[in-house]
Structure formats: structure tokens, C-alpha cells
Amino acid sequence: DQQVKQNSPSLSVQEGRISILNCDYTNSMFDYFLWYKKYPAEGPTFLISISSIKDKNEDGRFTVFLNKSAKHLSLHIVPSQPGDSAVYFCAAIEGGSNYKLTFGKGTLLTVNP
Amino acid sequence: DAGVTQSPTHLIKTRGQQVTLRCSPISGHKSVSWYQQVLGQGPQFIFQYYEKEERGRGNFPDRFSARQFPNYSSELNVNALLLGDSALYLCASRSLKGLSSYNEQFFGPGTRLTVL
């Protein structure tokens, strides 16, 4: 039973354009959401997060949007760069459990020069 | 500063054997978590240890166990290995400013376990 879903296994965009990665969740108890990036042979690296009390968080080229009513969040990367090519994982934390990350299956982003 | 380190990098075992994986957290981090990532899936939570005590456990059988040492390093043990235990095992550490805070978890590169 997937509580965090990333329905797009892969995404390909041109350098300089916007990349939009989507994530849906089913557990209403989730109140904190994170995006991790993973290169081959490395562990996941934290990218950006958002609390459920917000609907947007921005950090440089990366912006995460949260739509609680739709149980949907998205990661926008603008402009996309070839170095952004990696697997992106959406993760969520349940209120009262500040350590257990529930991950989606990931989306492979390829940014073409 | 060194990040989270894990050993060994790769491991090949046969069904029924036992395996021990090791993790050293970032200096000053007292919390260690273990995750299993099967090919094509996202990481799945196995255990969390804080101050040498188990603070959380995921939906894994009793064949999986772990412990944390006084220096905050940790070991994950898996007994009676099954083919389905083949996965990347990730360790993550974090600094707890308070048990209620969502501090970033830093992941190690993982141990690739293959069970034949």
C-alpha cells in the first residue's frame, strides 16, 4: 500500500527549461514533506522541504508546492541544468513521528544539454 | 568533515546466511536510521536508534535487528537471509535539536547486499 506515490518513473527536459516532478500522498497524518535527490552509487541527498502549514517553499532554483486538499505536492526546478539529472524521491513524515521517512518510488529526471 | 560512512560497500551472501552491516554517523549526530531500498522502489524504513535505544521499527520481520554503540555507530543484522533481502541498505544520521524537530537526515552511500 503506497502512501506516497510518484506516478512518473521518468521525465526528460531540455536544459534551461522547467522541470516539474509530482507526488501524491494518501495518509492524512503526513505533515512534513521532503524531496531528496539521488545519484548512482550515492545515498539520497536532501533538497528541499515543506511543512503542511505552508503551501510553497523556495530555495534558489528549487520550489516545492503543497496542495493539502488534493494531497499533492510538486517540485519545480527552474532553470534545469544537466547536473540536475538524477533520481528524485518524494518523502513524507507523519505527525508525531519525526524520524520515519516514507518514500515514493522516485522519478528519474534527465536534463538534456 | 566526514559524512555518514557505511561498510562494506558490496556484499554477496547465500540464502540462510547471516550478515552484519555497519554505519558511522556524522560526528555529533546521535540518531541513526536504517532503510532498505529494493531495486525500483524507494527506501523503506527499518529502524531508528537514538542514544543507543530503539525508538522506531518498520514493518520488517524479526530476522532484522540492530544496535547502536556508545560512540553512536550502528550495526544492522539480518539472519536467515532470503533472496528478497537483496537490496541497497542505507543508513542515515541526524542531529536532534529536540525530539519534535524535523532535522535533516543525512544518508550514507549504502551497502549493496546480494543474496544468491
Neighbours of B57 (CB within 10 A): 15
Q: Which residues of A touch B51 (CB under 8 A)?
A: none
Q: Check pLDDT > 70 for residue A98.
A: no
List the single residue in A with minimal CA-CA distance to B43.
A103
A4 touches chain B (CB under 8 A): yes
DSSP A82: G
pLDDT on residue B102? 62
Please tell me which residue, B27 or A1, carries the higher pLDDT value: B27
Pairing outcome for strands A107-112 and A10-14: parallel
Say whether pLDDT at A5 is over 60.
yes
Interacting residues of B59 by C-beta distance below 8 A, sequence separation 6+: none
Residue A105 pLDDT exceeds 80: yes
Average pLDDT, whole number, for chain A?
Answer: 94
**% of residues, chain A, pLDDT over 70:** 99
Most confident of A26-35, A91-100, B15-24: B15-24
Q: What is the pLDDT of residue B97?
A: 61
Model pLDDT for residues A57-82, shown as the tens digit of each residue = 999 999 999 999 999 999 999 999 99
Q: Are strands B87-94 and B106-107 parallel, antiparallel or unpaired?
A: antiparallel
A69 burial class (0-12, 13-18, 19+ CB within 10 angstroms)?
exposed
Question: Contact, B66 vs B90, CB < 8 A?
Answer: no
- Segments of chain B scoring below 70 in pLDDT: 1, 96-103
Cell of B7: 561498510
- Judged by a CB distance cut-off of 8 A, whether residue B105 touches chain A is yes
